[in-house]
Structure 1
Amino acid sequence: MPPKPIVSKQDIIKTAIQLVRENGMSSINARSIANALNCSTKPLFRIYKNMEELKNDIIVELNAYYNLFMDSRITEKNRLLSQGVAYIEFARNEKMIFNTLFMNMTMAGSSLQDVIHAEWNRESIENVKAITGLPMDKAEMLFINIWLYSHGIATQIVSNGINMSLETVTKLLTNAFKQFSIDISENNK
């Protein structure tokens, strides 16, 4: 019977997530994880075939963490506005994780149509349609405008270290939502 591993898969993932949180995904390698776990690299490769498999598990866990964060903050009153604020809040609170999930070519090859038709965005687009009375194509346009605006603020916070309070973020997005709604509605006439 093989020896029972002292290090578990959960230990590896938890440690790797902490390394990503502190130093980004580029800090993830067998040696850095083994050093953080105070072990050799052998236990890692008893559990994982290779680093690619481990990195895939890390991304799955980071996405689950992000989804829980977002789900706890999105409200039905205005899903798009609360989604944008939560997205920026996540960027501010978890800069390296945000960078790993949203700034390292994870959406390479995606189009705006891919974003609009992604399952996880449809509920917000339907909510926009309901609260604004815009037709679906205009609700989708409003979604894209706010999504891009939110991502711009988030990336400024992450990459340039701009410090913005949640109150300021909320005001900016609320004003953008109102103005984009007006502009899109007027273009509907």
Structure 2
Amino acid sequence: MARKKTITREQILKAAHDVVATEGFSRFTARNIANKMKCSTQPIYLEFKNMDDLKQELYRQIHHYLSVDIFPVVRTGKPLIDLALNYIHFAVNESGLYRALYLEYTGAGEEMQKFSYDCFLSMVKKDSSFDHLSEAELISLHTGTWIVATGVASLMTSGLIHLTDEEIEQLIQNTIDHILSDDNLVEVNF
């Protein structure tokens, strides 16, 4: 008679998430995840082909969480400013996961860049004041607002600055206005 599985795929993903959120991707190993669940590594390899498979599934889960529960929250009614505010709130409220995703070198930099750009595009499409922008202008707008939001998020997460939502909103709006004014397009290739 075959042994019954006692550790589920969901439990493994939760433990993997906990490891990443508290210790970062540098500690994303089968041994550390198994230790979190107080078991051997065998259940991990029964549920996932390898650690890359587990990491990709964790990314999918995190992307879903960010795109459904975090980034679309309406705070001001201005989708791009709301996205920046939500990104900053995520950084402050879930600083370990934020650092692991956006500040650590994890080999997923391009993936997080694409995910962030796709979230940005979906928010910009909700605001008709951006309908006239060319692809180059959209890329410039994304680059500028993301750099400012990441700077604010990093500084707030480390406790070096303390800004209100109103101050952040004004900073992001000033950034948008500056980028979209004549001759201020920033061309950046990642």
Q: TM-score, normalised by structure 2?
A: 0.76
- Structure 1 residue 109, shift from structure 2 partner: 9.1
Quote the residue 1:107 is aligned against. 109
Quote the residue 1:150 is aligned against. 149
In structure 1, C-alpha distance between the alignment counterparts of 2:169 and 2:144, rounded to whole Å: 11
3-state SS of paired residue (1:60): helix
Contact 1:15 1:37 in 2 (8 A): yes
Give 1 or 2 for the bigger CA radius of gyration.
1
Q: Is 1:63–2:60 an aligned residue pair? A: no
Quote the residue 1:21 is aligned against. 21
What is the aligned counterpart of 1:164 among 153, 162, 165? 162
| Structure 1 residues 127 and 148: CA distance shift in structure 2, 3 A | farther
3-state SS of paired residue (2:39): coil
- Structure 1 residue 178, shift from structure 2 partner: 3.5
- Structure 1 residue 79, shift from structure 2 partner: 0.3
In structure 2, C-alpha distance between the alignment counterparts of 1:109 and 1:45, rounded to whole Å: 24
| Structure 1 residues 127 and 29: CA distance shift in structure 2, 3 A | same
Superposed CA deviations along residues 144-166 of structure 1, whole A, max 9, x for unmatched, are 322221122123334x443535x
Superposed CA deviations along residues 149-189 of structure 1, whole A, max 9, x for unmatched, are 1122123334x443535x2x44133244146416633559x
Structure 1: segments with no counterpart, 5+ residues? none
When the two structures are aligned, how many residues end up with a matched partner?
Answer: 180
In structure 2, C-alpha distance between the alignment counterparts of 1:156 and 1:100, rounded to whole Å: 16
Contact 1:125 1:143 in 2 (8 A): no
The residue type equivalent to 1:6 in the other structure is T
- Structure 1 residue 119, shift from structure 2 partner: 3.9
Q: TM-score, normalised by structure 1?
A: 0.76
Quote the residue 2:170 is aligned against. 174
- In terms of fraction of residues, the more helix-rich structure is 1
Quote the residue 2:34 is aligned against. 34
- Structure 1 residue 26, shift from structure 2 partner: 1.7
Contact 1:81 1:174 in 2 (8 A): no
3-state SS of paired residue (1:136): coil
Quote the residue 2:95 is aligned against. 95
In structure 2, C-alpha distance between the alignment counterparts of 1:74 and 1:144, rounded to whole Å: 22
- Structure 1 residue 35, shift from structure 2 partner: 1.6
CA RMSD of aligned residues (A): 3.2
3-state SS of paired residue (2:125): helix
The residue type equivalent to 2:108 in the other structure is T
| Structure 1 residues 126 and 62: CA distance shift in structure 2, 3 A | closer
In structure 2, C-alpha distance between the alignment counterparts of 1:15 and 1:75, rounded to whole Å: 31
Contact 1:150 1:173 in 2 (8 A): no
Q: Note the 1:98-137 alignment, pairs <5 A.
A: 98-103=98-103, 104=105, 105-108=107-110, 118-128=117-127, 130-131=128-129, 135-137=132-134
| Structure 1 residues 151 and 26: CA distance shift in structure 2, 3 A | same
